[in-house]
């Protein structure tokens, strides 16, 4: 009987060890959150300073750095895919959430001349909110959900403000939904 008990305990230990070993590493992709977070936050602030403090009309050129980051991210995930030896449900869920996010983001950029930048920016913030709250649910990481909610609130406020303030709110939204959770992910698992 004692032997049987020990074996049962061993079995439970093995199951628990394997679940831990195959768990999604939360800190795995934090570099991507940080890269986009800092890039968008800094670009929005530079855009604001150049256009609304220094009066430079071509300030929006600052956003042309985004496609470059898009290429860097594509290379990062292509390399990661090559090294990947396991497919998990978490990875699949995250891939589809962020694929949807990117497709809607590109669609918004395409239709932006129709609805003006002032109309599009709040939707960007809603979009950050949807993606980060969904991700938070999948990886069980609360700071991302909190960041997502703050981002949505920024979007609501932005809808009532002039474009120059929307830039500052966009910066705040991305710092709360990408940058802060990105740093906190380092110590989480």
Partner 1 sequence: MFEPLDPLLHSQLRLAVMSLLMNVEVAEFNYIKEKTNATAGNLSVQVNKLKDAGYIAVEKSYKDNYPLTTCKITETGINAFEAYLNALRSYIKPT
Residues belonging to the chain: 189
Name which of residues 32 to 91 contact partner 1 (CB under 8 A): 85-89
- SS3 label, residue 30: helix
Minimum distance, C-beta of residue 91 to partner 1, in the bound complex (Å): 8
Do residues 138 and 94 lie in contact, with contact meaning Cβ atoms separated by under 8 Å? yes
Pick the stretch among 19-27, 101-109, 143-151, 161-169 that binds partner 1 (CB under 8 A).
19-27
Of 2, 3, 19, 67, the one binding partner 1 (CB under 8 A) is: 19
Nearest approach, Cβ of residue 10 and partner 1 (Å):
7
- If one counts every other C-beta atom within 10 angstroms of the C-beta of residue 129, the result is 24
- 12: contact with partner 1 by CB under 8 A: yes
| DSSP string for 9-26 | HHHHHHHHHHHHHTS--T
Q: Is residue 5 a contact residue for partner 1 (CB under 8 A)?
A: yes
Nearer to partner 1 by Cβ, of 3 and 114: the residue is 3
């Amino acid at each position: 009987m004692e032997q049987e008990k020990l074996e049962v305990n061993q079995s439970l230990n093995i199951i628990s060890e394997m679940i831990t070993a195959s768990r999604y590493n939360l800190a795995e992709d934090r570099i991507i959150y940080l890269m986009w977070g800092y890039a968008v936050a800094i670009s929005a602030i530079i855009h604001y300073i150049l256009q609304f403090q220094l009066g430079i009309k071509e300030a929006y050129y600052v956003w042309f750095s985004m496609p470059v980051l898009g290429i860097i991210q594509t290379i990062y995930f292509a390399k990661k895919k090559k090294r990947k030896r396991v497919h998990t449900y978490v990875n699949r869920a995250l891939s589809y959430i962020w694929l949807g996010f990117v497709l809607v983001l590109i669609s918004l950029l395409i239709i932006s001349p129709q609805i003006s930048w002032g109309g599009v920016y709040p939707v960007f913030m809603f979009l950050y909110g949807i993606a980060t709250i969904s991700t938070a649910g999948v990886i069980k990481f609360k700071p991302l959900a909190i960041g997502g909610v703050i981002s949505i609130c920024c979007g609501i406020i932005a809808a009532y403000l002039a474009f120059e303030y929307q830039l500052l709110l966009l910066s705040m939204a991305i710092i709360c939904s990408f940058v802060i959770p990105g740093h906190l992910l380092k110590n989480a698992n």
